[in-house]
Structure 1
Amino acid sequence: MRNKLWLILPAALSCILTSAQPAPSTAYLDILKKGRAYDTIQADHFPAFTYQSSADADLTELRNFYHLDSVAGHGTDISRAINLLQWMHLAVPHEDEYNLPVLTARNIIKTYKEKHIAQGCYPLAIAMNEIFLSMGFHSRIVICFAASFDNPNGGHVINSVYIPSLRKSLWMDPQFNVFLKDGAGNFLSIAEVRENLIAGKKVNLNKNANYHGKSTTAKYYLEEFMTEHLYRFISPLESKYNGETRAPGKTQTYLELIPKGGAAPSFGTFETHTDKNGSVKTYHTTNAALFWKTP
């Protein structure tokens, strides 16, 4: 079966960071250009995205335990989100270690502080997401993959966080401490970054983007790394505390966005896999407007 999301979730996603990896050519951008189009008329056949309230007991405990109100500060919604991003980036560094059995922000951060076990991009994005949710931001994790799903060459996981003052959800990456802007200085969503790269428009990284303290360039991050992984996207339909921990009897539901013409199961259908670790149900769509719908 093509979609093996239930196999991907328990494993730390490799984020292709070593210099031993061959630098991708313009072939990845060409593939992205061929997959530019989406089907704008496909109907909604899946549940709506939901975002857990910051009043939830677990999110409240998370917020209070790490004094996230103080971390965020009292500035604009954008500055507060950026402060939280930078805090999480420093709290747990990236390494492609094994995933923890309990994937919550508390456990991910605690494990690093007590055992110095860093985490892959998937757990980092999970922790970041719960931090955003605890502070009242409507956020979700977004798993980014290449065109070849069965051999995605690692993939990458980031966050899409809604900023009310901008009326859009922004690209934020805790692994690299990254947010992105266009040539005019406007903050960009994940969909806008993808479109700008295809169109050859300017995309700029924040100046303090880095990996383990080493400055990250737009050339590396966008051209050599992310362009390959902006072909298809997967996101949980329920954004909540402890939503990504697998457990017997638990069902996790996801939506996958694939370009029009991309190899995929019949749209309007879904796939379900159940084993001793619970069930994973994945819907598919080619309608980008439905996938990127803001809260």
Structure 2
Amino acid sequence: MKKFLWIAFLSFCFSGVAAESDWNADSVQVYFSRSVTPVVQKNWKDHKLILKTYRQFLKTCESVPDSVLKQCSWCFIDTYYNMACCESMMKRKKAAVDAFEKAIQYGYYDYAHAQKDTDLDNVRDDKRFQKAMERLREVGDFGYILRKSPGYDDAASIDSLPAFTYMDPNDRDLVRVRRYFNLDSIAGAGDEISKIKNLLAWVHNTIRHDGSSYNPEEKNAIALYEICKKEDRGVNCRMMAQMLNECYLAMGFKSRYVTCLPKSYINDCHVINVVYSNTLDKWLWVDPTWNAYVMDDKGNLLSISEVRDRLKKSEFVTVNEDANWNHKTPCTNDYYLDYYMSKNLYYLQCSDCSGFNNETYVEGKRRPVYITLSPTGEPYDKRWSTSNESWFWASPYK
């Protein structure tokens, strides 16, 4: 059982149970957080009480429209998954499997957790439970999904797609970025790889990650830095990648920010950077959210393409030892690579143009085109997808 439930963080007060006509997604979630979660957390060993509490919640929601319930599916995922655990531990197999199937129906996808959760051991020999686990694997075993993905086709046409372009480091805005942050000093006087790593670490250490933050209107490195300092706030992974992208470009590196997407949208996606190394003649994986780059067993830095291929083949990959989230949580291979990024490497999306203020809306300014590298036969969209991996990751100097 998950003893600490996913709790909705809501900014308003609520007391009592709303009248039927007043139910909306917010009131359902607040009712769950106020009336269900505390009871379960306090009495998580009392299976009968937990089941009674969840059943009361379900009864309360009987008259709530399905359209509302879909907006707060996490409440029902928690409810049915933990009911399955309680029923299993009480050796009521049919009821346990019924609840487990309901959890999947509402969107439960944590295949790895369900596999090792001892609360479900009493139903593992049940054929219906085994079939449910097979269905769950198709949406929640991200390594398995990635391994099953089709390959790429370097013969695929790219005639209708725009070329990738990179702003010149002598552009006045990039010069301003370079001077504003004194990037020459930050990058240091070492070799190309050390400069790449120093700029990555500086952005990670300067701006904290906050996935729930709103995106400011002006999305360039200077504006992002100033609003974070003024409001004592962080930014999401996309904004961190925007900032690092401009720093690399300002220092003369070819760089892109890459939206890494799952096969089906589950919870979130992730945005990292690639920076081209002339020394290694390839694009390198760099992630400012985690201060992470990825290596093989010999310590060689890897590209997104190489990491994805190695994960598909179950070959060795590792992150740098000092990779971390906000200097609070270490970045581990099993979470970051085997779980989180395995989920988010199905589709890879890049803007056709890489430059200053790339995603700031300016009237009359050309908007970026987002091109997606998709597995063969599974285009992300009809117009701006390709399975031509060689073209997508070609050297920017050829």
In 1: Cα distance, 2:352 partner to 2:381 partner: 19
Could you tell me whether the CA contact under 8 Å between 2:152 and 2:375 is conserved in 1? yes
Give the SS at the match of 2:359: coil
Give the SS at the match of 1:129: helix
Give the SS at the match of 2:271: strand
State the Cα distance separating 1:261 from its structure 2 match. 2.2
| Paired position in structure 1 for 2:210 | 95
State the Cα distance separating 1:23 from its structure 2 match. 4.8
1:70-128 per-residue CA deviation (whole Å, 9 max, x = no partner) reads: 00001110000100000000110000200111110101111111111210000000001
| Paired position in structure 1 for 2:240 | 124
Structure having the higher helix fraction is 2
| 1:148-227 equivalence runs, <5 A | 148=264, 151-213=265-327, 214-227=329-342
Query: After the TM superposition, which of the residue ranges 75-84 and 239-248 deviates more from structure 2?
Result: 239-248
C-alpha spacing 1:147/1:22, structure 2 compared with 1 (3 Å): closer
In 1: Cα distance, 2:198 partner to 2:315 partner: 27
Could you tell me whether the CA contact under 8 Å between 1:141 and 1:235 is conserved in 2? yes
Give the SS at the match of 1:95: coil
1:36-83 per-residue CA deviation (whole Å, 9 max, x = no partner) reads: 401121122212111111111011011111110000001110000100
Could you tell me whether the CA contact under 8 Å between 2:284 and 2:301 is conserved in 1? yes
| Paired position in structure 2 for 1:43 | 157
State the Cα distance separating 1:158 from its structure 2 match. 0.2
The structure number with the bigger radius of gyration is 2
Unaligned runs of 5+ in 1: 1-19, 271-282
**Percent identity (aligned):** 37
Structure 1 stretches of 4+ moved >3 Å: 20-26, 247-250, 263-266
| 1:218-257 equivalence runs, <5 A | 218-250=333-365, 251-257=367-373
Give the SS at the match of 1:110: helix
Give the SS at the match of 1:58: helix
| Paired position in structure 2 for 1:52 | 167
Could you tell me whether the CA contact under 8 Å between 1:122 and 1:157 is conserved in 2? yes
Give the SS at the match of 1:178: coil
In 1: Cα distance, 2:206 partner to 2:345 partner: 27
1:214-235 per-residue CA deviation (whole Å, 9 max, x = no partner) reads: 2111111111211000000110
Structure 2: which amino acid aligns with 1:284?
S
Calculate the TM-score normalised by the size of structure 2.
0.63
1:65 partnered with 2:180: yes
Tell me how large the CA RMSD over aligned residues is: 1.6
Could you tell me whether the CA contact under 8 Å between 1:145 and 1:229 is conserved in 2? yes
State the Cα distance separating 1:265 from its structure 2 match. 4.1
Give the SS at the match of 2:284: strand
In 2: Cα distance, 1:39 partner to 1:205 partner: 29
Q: 1:84 aligns with which of 199, 219, 225?
A: 199
Unaligned runs of 5+ in 2: 1-77, 79-107, 113-136
Give the SS at the match of 1:162: strand
Could you tell me whether the CA contact under 8 Å between 2:294 and 2:319 is conserved in 1? yes
| 1:256-275 equivalence runs, <5 A | 256-266=372-382, 270=383
Q: 2:389 aligns with which of 277, 288, 292?
A: 288
In 1: Cα distance, 2:374 partner to 2:336 partner: 22
Give the SS at the match of 2:294: strand
| Paired position in structure 2 for 1:137 | 253
Structure having the higher strand fraction is 1
Query: After the TM superposition, which of the residue ranges 256-265 and 34-43 deviates more from structure 2?
Result: 256-265
Calculate the TM-score normalised by the size of structure 1.
0.84
